[in-house]
Amino acid sequence: MSKEKLVVIGGDAAGMSAASQARRQRSDLDIIAFEKTPHTSYAACGIPYYVGDMIKTSDQLVARAPEVFREKQNIDARVLHEVVEIDLEGRRVKAVNLSENAESWESFDKLLIATGASPIVPDVPGKDAEGVFTISSLESGLRCREALDRLNPRNAVVIGGGYIGIEMAEALLMRGCDVTMIEMAPQVMPTLDQDMAGIVAQKLADDGVELLLEEPLTGFDVDSNGRVLAVTTSNRTIPTDFTVLAIGIRPESNLAAAAGVPLGDRNAIRINERMETGIEGVWSAGDCAESKHLVSGKPFWVALGTVANKHGRVAGINIAGGNAVFPGVVGTAITKFNELEIARTGLQQREIDKLGIDSISAKIHSKTRAHYYPGAELINVKLFAEKGNGRLLGAQIIGGPGSGKRIDTAAAALHAGMTIEDLINLDLSYAPPFSPVWDPLQIAARVLLSKL
């Protein structure tokens, strides 16, 4: 009697977490994972720090290599294999061995789609020029780092002011580049309110980044050898030796959609709390799949390694016959630019307004430590609450070292459905090296409570 077979499409966080979890539950399951790049289970969030040379070798970013899955977990991890078609009726997938350019079909009893997300590349002249990079897979990070090492560029342009754009601007400054950042929106960091994003913009400028807002990209000037010479916007031409496209990502759901798998928020694959797609024996997890937002109660797409790993765990347990659920997310994210820590969770003002929630907000400035203790840094906190019942809706925190991880307290409060008064009464730790007597989150909550 043949073994039951699980096929996983995608060999990074969600796919291999699910494969590993399924293996722990069931030693008898035949597991095959297809990954189109040479790498499995790598820390994509660490790529900008590898490019910036804070992390010296790419091996440090790999949590588990393909041979480890094969030898220690009996998971057939097939790298450089791209799945190009899903045949749901025939219960099989078509994979291309990229090393040999050979196609083959693989049958499955159970299927996990974990195809991740892909960078958005605008259809403008010169977009494929040498010297224009996107940051998505570890392979793309290796190409970017190799080019920086080889070319030692002086002028760099970052297109996009979101998380990757901010982190790559920091990395390129660390590599000695003069950096220009182009953003078509009126602000950087679109997941922040404009007043909070302004603090980030000021830090970028203070640390030497030329920031050009409300300037859409129109194309690239390219030399006769196909190498980028300049970036063109609606307003100007900017000479460049090195360019990073970081204008956003989208769920990689085309393969699933072509097979008839239903899509949801922002064309991410629609799933329930068990990671099921609604098609018998087919699950999805990670950056290609949607989640539920616990504050709005609506489907929500977010691409984060934390979410992908949790998705994968739940999917793996259920694929193996268990019963696990993923309740949802609150949209927590954190990054930094040099010493400035940037964090947010829950809803921002425009999302609150779109939902029609009657809300109030408060913004305060405080210190990360007791004001008299050495090293106390400025911290800015903005909180949102629902009028009437005081339910916490969201938080944004920007400040010096020691600021950012305070967002986790707000995230926990959102998961628990706490009110502003609940947040004020939380028994948070205090000592002068760590916090003022009233933590900045609670100071903001007190101001907000006075408005209810």
Please state, in angstroms and rounded to a whole number, the distance separating the CA atoms of residues 311 and 10: 13
Q: Are residues 273 and 303 in the same domain?
A: yes
Look up tokens 């210190």; give the residue.
Answer: 367
Q: Are residues 191 and 263 in the same domain?
A: no
Residues 80-88, mean pLDDT to the nearest whole number: 98
Report if residue 416 sits inside a domain. Answer: yes
Report if residue 52 sits inside a domain. Answer: no
248: which 2 tokens? 């956003």
pLDDT band for 380, please (50, 70, 90 cuts). Answer: very high
352: which 2 tokens? 């609150």
Q: Are residues 356 and 418 in the same domain?
A: yes
Identity (one letter) of the amino acid at 323?
A: N
Please tell me the predicted confidence (pLDDT) of residue 318.
98
User: How far, in Å, are 22, 30, 43, 102, 133 from residue 78 at the CA level?
Assistant: 17, 14, 19, 13, 26
Q: What's the whole-number average pLDDT of the chain?
A: 96
Please tell me the predicted confidence (pLDDT) of residue 194.
97
Q: Are residues 420 and 406 in the same domain?
A: yes
Q: Where are the alpha helices (DSSP H) in 125-214?
A: 138-151, 163-174, 194-206
Report if residue 406 sits inside a domain. Answer: yes
pLDDT band for 351, please (50, 70, 90 cuts). Answer: very high
pLDDT of 80 strictly over 80: yes
pLDDT of 140 strictly over 70: yes
Q: Are residues 146 and 224 in the same domain?
A: yes
Please tell me the predicted confidence (pLDDT) of residue 141.
94
Q: Are residues 227 and 277 in the same domain?
A: no
Q: Are residues 86 and 126 in the same domain?
A: no
Percent of the residues in the chain that have a pLDDT greater than 70, as a whole number: 100
CATH code of the domain containing 432: 3.30.390.30
Please tell me the predicted confidence (pLDDT) of residue 267.
97
> pLDDT for 245-272, tens place per residue?
999 999 999 999 999 999 999 999 999 9
Pick the last residue of a domain from 247, 263, 297.
247
Task: Give the CB-side neighbour count of residue 33, counting CA atoms within 13 A.
Answer: 33
Number of domains in the chain: 3
> pLDDT for 358-368, tens place per residue?
999 999 999 99
Report if residue 48 sits inside a domain. Answer: no
151-155, 164-168, 177-181: least confidently modelled range? 151-155
Percent of the residues in the chain that have a pLDDT greater than 90, as a whole number: 98
Identity (one letter) of the amino acid at 234?
A: S
Please tell me the predicted confidence (pLDDT) of residue 2.
66
Please state, in angstroms and rounded to a whole number, the distance separating the CA atoms of residues 421 and 181: 41
Q: Are residues 105 and 139 in the same domain?
A: no
Range of the domain at 362: 342-449
Q: Are residues 267 and 368 in the same domain?
A: no
pLDDT of 240 strictly over 90: yes
Report if residue 153 sits inside a domain. Answer: yes
pLDDT band for 378, please (50, 70, 90 cuts). Answer: very high
Asked if 51 and 35 count as a contact pair (C-beta separation under 8 A), the reply is: no
pLDDT of 284 strictly over 70: yes
Asked if 172 and 242 count as a contact pair (C-beta separation under 8 A), the reply is: yes
Asked if 388 and 353 count as a contact pair (C-beta separation under 8 A), the reply is: no
Please tell me the predicted confidence (pLDDT) of residue 3.
87
Q: Are residues 443 and 408 in the same domain?
A: yes
Please state, in angstroms and rounded to a whole number, the distance separating the CA atoms of residues 250 and 99: 27
Please tell me the predicted confidence (pLDDT) of residue 254.
98
> pLDDT for 293-315, tens place per residue?
999 999 999 999 999 999 999 99
Select which of 45, 144, 177, 288 is catalytic: 45
Q: Are residues 352 and 238 in the same domain?
A: no
Q: Are residues 313 and 349 in the same domain?
A: no
Has this prediction a pTM greater than 0.85? yes
245: three-class secondary structure by DSSP:
strand
User: Helix count (H) and strand count (E) of the chain?
Assistant: 12, 25
Report if residue 76 sits inside a domain. Answer: yes
CATH code of the domain containing 238: 3.50.50.60
- Name 345's bridge partners: 395
Question: Among 200, 161, 199, which Cα is nearest to 180's?
Answer: 161
**22: part of which helix (H) or strand (E)?**
helix 13-25
Residues 187-203, mean pLDDT to the nearest whole number: 98
> pLDDT for 9-59, tens place per residue?
999 999 999 999 999 999 999 999 999 999 999 999 999 999 999 999 999
Pick the last residue of a domain from 247, 275, 304.
247
Report if residue 155 sits inside a domain. Answer: yes
Residues 326-347, mean pLDDT to the nearest whole number: 98
Look up tokens 């809300």; give the residue.
Answer: 359
Report if residue 51 sits inside a domain. Answer: no
Please tell me the predicted confidence (pLDDT) of residue 241.
94
Residues 209-230, mean pLDDT to the nearest whole number: 96
**448: part of which helix (H) or strand (E)?**
helix 440-449
Residues 400-420, mean pLDDT to the nearest whole number: 98
Pick the last residue of a domain from 247, 268, 284.
247
Please state, in angstroms and rounded to a whole number, the distance separating the CA atoms of residues 16 and 14: 6
Q: Where are the alpha helices (DSSP H) in 192-304?
A: 194-206, 254-259
Catalytic: 288? no
Sign of the Cα torsion 128, 131, 137, 142 reads positive
